[in-house]
Chains A and B, each alone.
Chain A
Amino acid sequence: MAEDLLSPRLIVVGTSWGGADALAALLGALPPEFPVPMAVVQHRGADSLEGVLVRFLQEHCAVPVREADDKDAIEDGTVYVGPSDYHLLVEKGSFALSVDPPVTLSRPSIDVLFESAADSYGPDLVAVVLTGANRDGTDGARAVKEQGGVVLVQDPGSATRPEMPAAVIHSVEVDEVLPLERLAARIAGMGLEP
């Protein structure tokens, strides 16, 4: 396993169908002092009520969860959720939003998040693909690998919908495929090594 995996500077997470519960499990495993900033994109309707997902995730998570605003600085120890109906992009040290047309039928798009994060964070990035019923995230995961980052994927067999993680595993050489619980434990240990 790559050494970088132990202390990435940013973790990006993408999920779709079944994602809210998978995210709750993933974030629920984080210790309160978890230092690595995390950016999460979950597919949902343009009209989904603002703040609902953030509140739901915060109930499960000891680390502060916030919806990302345009140009927000990326701060340690914070989980950022991409707002509905915007793409979430990563610049060096901050976020940017866009209303570009949907990519892979989605806005927010996981590919857009992963590709921009790969560009800005290169080998200091861990990307995580969870349950989902489409192919968003595959191109993004490829970009993460090309820039030297690490890709972790939820075991399709343990996912509510296997299509999205399976598509990534099929076309990208990912680092690890783990059932949700082990994946969560794996991430929870990051950045806390001496």
Chain B
Amino acid sequence: MAIRVGPTRHALEDLELRLLLEGIYQHYGYDFREYARASLRRRVWRRLLEEGLETISALQDRLLHDPQCFERLLVDLSVTVTTMFRDPSFYQALREKVVPLLRTYPFVRVWNAGCSTGEETFSLAILLHEEGLGERARIYATDINDVVVRQAKLGTFSLEKMREYTQNYIRSGGKASFSDYYKVYGDKARFDPSLVDNVVFAQHNLVSDSEFNQFHLIVCRNVMIYFDRSLQDKVHDLFHRSLVRFGVLALGHKESLRFTSHTDDYEEVDGREKLWRRIS
């Protein structure tokens, strides 16, 4: 009898993955059930092989009985890759098109959701500082992963990266000399702590935590690409509730509102740079 191995094996693996995510959710409270499958599967497989196991079910067994194994998977699952002034043209558009809108408010609240190790937060803080908004803006920088949030507070990045970041900063329309913002300690660049006097760093899970303030600008780049469409939609509900009317939403270069139920609630500020303004 001929069994078509491909699809059958695939369906079985799909089932194992769903059971694993359900188990993690019920036992540890972390909800990855609606994360985008393809990259999630890659990372689950990496963990599984490193544990010397052969099936996702075997990994589930170990995870549920050994919290340390779960900790290891958590590290694998959180992709914290980030860059200062990633996509310089985005920061340029922020300066030219969004800052003038922010200036109309006496006090500005910014939410940097999925801030990772803080490179993006410091980029935003530098930009607001140079635009004269440093004193009257507060940035809330949040991430699901408390390890990276603690790291973000330090504002200490690898010196090796400074050449690339300096290039990005210049191309983003930076107005000062980038090296004035940090001091070098060994192989680290430590950014001026006063840049983040007005930054609140906190752990916050976009999947399960609720809104906590009203914002004039929400920056959430390259975070929701890890979510499936239905989860993206839920997070967009959260952002919509968290934005003041005419507040601005900023997404990553390859993300859009197209697949959400909020397309009509926003107007474009800059289509290429993925900047939208809430209009209803």
Contact = CB atoms under 8 A, between A and B. Distances in A.
A71 B224 CA distance: 10
B81 A101 contact: yes
Contacts of B42: 100, 112, 115-116
Give the interface size class of chain B: 20 to 34
Interface residues of A, number: 28
Nearest to B39: A98
B79 interface: yes
B229 A148 contact: no
B96 to A, nearest CB: 18
A27 interface: no
A90 interface: yes
Contacts of B226: 98
Interface string A72-90: 0000000000010011011
Given A70-B254, A96-B39, A116-B38, A123 B6 contact: yes
B37 interface: yes
B254 A98 contact: no
A69 B254 contact: yes
Interface string B26-50: 0000000000111101100000000
Given A69-B258, A100-B79, A148-B4, 9 more contacts: A67-B254, A86-B254, A97-B225, A98-B39, A100-B81, A120-B38, A122-B10, A123-B4, A123-B7
21 contacts: A67-B254, A68-B254, A69-B254, A70-B224, A70-B225, A70-B254, A86-B225, A87-B39, A89-B38, A91-B36, A96-B36, A97-B254, A98-B39, A98-B226, A99-B79, A99-B222, A99-B225, A116-B42, A119-B38, A120-B38, A148-B6
